[in-house]
Amino acid sequence: MSLIPHYHFELSLNGGKVGDHVFDPGWTDYKDTCLYVSFDIAQALRPGENTFGAMLGNGLYNVIGGRYTKFTGSFGPPKMILQAHIVYRDGTEKVVTSDASWKTHDSPITFSCPYGGEDYDAQKEQSGWNAPGFDAAAWDVATVTDGPGGVLRAQEAPPVKIMETYGIAAIKKTAPGCYEADMGHNLSARPVLKVRGKAGDRVTLRVGERPGQPWEDHSYTYTLRGGGAETYTPYFTYFGFQYIFVEGADLEADATGERPVLLDLASEFVTSAAPVVGAFQCGNPLLNEINDMVARSVRSNLQSVLTDCPHREKLGWLEVSHLMGPSILYYYDARGLYRKICRDTTESQLENGLVPDIAPEYTRFTKGFFESAEWGSAAVQLPWLLYRWYGDTDILARQYDTMARYTDYLATTRDAKGLAKAGLGDWYDWTPEKGHAGYAQLTPGELTATAMLFDNARILSRTAALLHKHGDVERFNRLSEQVREDFITAYYDSASHTVATGSQSALAVGLFFGLIPETDREAVLATLTAKLEQDAFKPSTGEVCFRYLLLALAQAGRNDLVYRIINRTDCPGYGWMLREFGLKTLSEQWDKPGSYLNHCMFGHVQEWFQRHVLGIGQAEDSTGFERLLLTPTPVGDLTEASGHFDSPRGRIAVAWKQEAGEFSLDLIIPGNTDATLVLPVPANSTLMESGADAGQASGIAAIDLEGDHPVITLGSGEYRFLCRPAKTP
């Protein structure tokens, strides 16, 4: 077993790559945590001499600049440690460690930066350098050095791997020796070049999201060794792209001998290997396209941090992690990644308790890009999400101090009205006149910040109770109650039943968080409904409040309004991006193609698909999906939907169809799980299960009524319900 922490590495044993990971280990604040990665190397060992080889890259550990960079900064030159623990068949053991007996040499990689690209000179390769028998006498002795200071921890997030490889979809010549190749998919990827030419020939690759628009400051230059077909893939960087632009080669049909021959191109999709645990499809082709669009965008940004985009940023902007959290966890087993993000918030937290907008905090931004409650609150929201989703009390205990210190800090930013300090607010909200314009245009920044403080304090009170921190239970409960009172006093207009400016965002926040008088909920919902009608059901919310808008409507039983917002192809929205611009991933601006076309920040609709269309959820007091609350919901003209979620207890599968006045539902409930099923049919419907009266069916404990709908209590198993209208006399 070998344990290797460094930044980044490609490890080989006896000339063959160890494992199938790329970009190991994950990005961290290296002064606090250095991750190590373990591999089983037994099959690669052989009798006699064995040789380890390692290539080191910079990653975000050592951002040197030289081309495009989001920032520059370094924890020092790349370094590594390795330990191999070998157990022989006779039971004896041996531990091999990296030390001063190792040898080092400059690699053929002459430039490497996660933002700027990579250059490789194959003439500098030394054949057999990582295999037994190589003579390294001329190499330098390795320098023994201290690490960057961080504690060694096992990497718990899923590794990044090459998940798919795509070939050329179309290619055209743009100038002598220059080509533009459409790879068919916009994704986080590494280009692959196959070429033949003379030693010293050079081919440069650039990449971009749009035809004719390469990213000028990100490139890959390969210098050929000569002597036959050669294949090059950058080792330590990736980018978001669909197009590869080739400079310095000719297709074989055009070869003149002056330039090398371009034999092939490919793109390797690199993303987290987090297992897929969910699926959704329905009878509406547009909704299926939207689901696929969000899925592509999420996958491109699932790396060792949850990135904002796979090209310009590559940073862990924290609002995405909690606002998109349920959407992501419904589709991927990203528990390990989310636990890592929790630790990242701790290691980025300042002495005064503030958690900045990005973690790890490799660079310090200013104004709202440094201190925004909607971003920093991930430090509180994520541990609670992991607890609810997986029953993970360990993460609450580990993160409690971070959660409490941040909430206490946020409370100190309140003004004379008790409102928390504004940051970015409802970032990228939309108006017909201005489109998206960055900072919130329609809703006070203090409103969303104060809502986050309220919810954080409420979570801390509940967490303190779980951890038996009794003094904090009441302290945070008082804080949440005071913040709620201050919010209502500052923003709620009881005469008009509106919140603050009356924007979609303000009304949705009031409803979703319960920051309005409970007796006025229906009236405020009516105000929101009227506002949406006034806006022609076009969403004006930014990325922060779009989730709250969808869920506030759904929780109020107005999934029909959510459907009207989603199921359209005019501006702005998912359908506009798909139909008008032909995008297959999410733009940062959904009224037009933004500067970059592969963000996941508006992907909250996937949570709605799973939680409300399929109806897969859990009871309010349940954790780890122990007690399910199933609410399948036909909506609009949608007549069928199906999908599943592999919960911590097993697969929950739903397939419903509505036709000819009948509603059918196929259902799978995993073992050791109870469920409450709310059927979307009239209370007096005839209910059948597997062809018999549902009241007599095995596994069904009770059939009751909740309002106008049948409510069935049932245990684990497979069910097939058929609901028919009651016969009229």
Please give the average pLDDT of every successive group of 10 residues along the chain, which has 729 residues.
62 96 96 95 93 95 93 94 92 94 97 97 97 96 94 96 98 97 97 97 98 95 97 97 98 82 98 98 98 98 96 96 98 98 98 98 94 98 98 98 98 98 97 92 98 98 98 98 98 98 98 98 98 98 98 98 98 95 92 90 97 98 98 97 98 96 97 96 95 93 89 97 83
Q: Return the pLDDT at 729.
A: 53
Domain at 2-156: CATH code: 2.60.120.260
CA 359 to chain centre: 14
The encoded tokens of residue 371 equal 């201190």
Burial 708-728 (b: 16+ CB within 10 A, else e): ebbbbebebbebebbbeeeee
Predicted model pTM: 0.97
Specify whether the CB–CB gap between 185 and 584 falls below 8 A. yes
- 2.60.120.260, 3.90.550.10, 4.10.1240.10, 3.30.420.10: CATH of 161-272: 2.60.120.260
What class, spelled out in words, does domain 278-614 have in CATH? mainly alpha
Tokens 């920044």 found at: 445
Tokens 């702005």 found at: 572
Q: Give CA angle at 375 (370, 380), nearest 5°.
A: 125
Domains 2-156 and 161-272 share a fold: yes
Residues 671 and 659: their CA atoms lie apart, in Å, by: 31
> Domain limits of the chain?
2-156, 161-272, 278-614, 627-724
* Helix residue ranges, H only, 438-520: 445-466, 470-491, 504-513
User: Looking at the DSSP assignment, which residues form a beta bridge with residue 86?
Assistant: 94
Q: How many CA atoms lie within 13 A of 466 on its CB side?
A: 21
Per-residue DSSP letter, 126: -
Domain at 627-724: CATH code: 2.60.420.10
Residues 614 and 330: their CA atoms lie apart, in Å, by: 12
Specify whether the CB–CB gap between 632 and 642 falls below 8 A. no
Specify whether the CB–CB gap between 561 and 507 falls below 8 A. no
CA dihedral in degrees (370, 375, 379, 385; nearest 10)? -170
Of 10, 9, 7, nearest to 59 by C-alpha is: 7
Find all residues with CB under 8 Å of 117, minimum gap 6, and list them: 67, 111, 218, 219, 220, 234, 237, 239
Specify whether the CB–CB gap between 311 and 598 falls below 8 A. yes
Residues 388 and 404: their CA atoms lie apart, in Å, by: 18
Specify the DSSP element, H or E, that contains 385: helix 378-390
Q: Return the pLDDT at 595.
A: 83
The Cβ of residue 548 has, within 10 Å, a number of other Cβ atoms equal to 24
Q: How many CA atoms lie within 13 A of 664 on its CB side?
A: 10
Of 283, 303, 129, 365, nearest to 658 by C-alpha is: 283
Q: Return the pLDDT at 26.
A: 95
